[in-house]
Amino acid sequence: MPTAAKLFAALAFAALGFLGGRLFAGQLPEGTPTDIFGPATAAVGLVCGWMISGALVGRGYVAAMSTGVRTVVTTAFVALLAYSIYIMVLRAMRMLYDGPIEALLGVSALMLSYARLLAVPEILAMLLVGGLMGGSISEWAGRRWK
């Protein structure tokens, strides 16, 4: 059921996903396709904010902030997985893999290499603070408009 808390959480985490995606795209090597990363992470943030943070309001601000951090971690994981699959498909179209199993193993290797690029203090701090704020915003909206 749509609520104000879900709407605010979805919008907050969509904005956070877009900003995080743009910051992360700056860390990628030159020539890596990044045009889709910002909007894709915004879409993942929108869905995760609606389903995770917006659905768990009403338990207090501390619980909402921890839920916000959980939402950010989930958003980052899903975004990295989706982007790794996207890059794997691009590489598979160029016949860079010998078979489907090697391509699937390539997804996990890509995710690990991209996770290392994500572990920059600026990005991690922005995601942590954004998760805390996003959780607080959803809790505030849940209390304001019941």
Quickly list DSSP for 86-142: HHHHHHHHTT-SSSHHHHHHHHHHHHHHHHHHH--HHHHHHHHHHHHHHHHHHHHHH
Residues in the chain with pLDDT < 70? Answer: none
CB atoms within 10 A of CB 14: 23
Q: What is the per-residue pLDDT for 36?
A: 83
Cα–Cα distance, 78 to 146 (Å, whole number): 30
Q: What is the pLDDT of residue 145?
A: 85
Amino acid at 96: L
Q: CA 56, 59, 62: angle at the middle one, nearest 5?
A: 100
Residue type, 105: L
Contact 137, 49 (CB under 8 A): no
| Total residue length of the chain | 146
Residues 6+ apart with CB under 8 A from 24: 37, 41, 114, 117, 118, 123
Instruction: Write down the pLDDT at residue 63.
Output: 93
Please state, in angstroms and rounded to a whole number, the distance separating the CA atoms of residues 81 and 84: 5
pLDDT on residue 26: 86
Whole-model pTM? 0.89
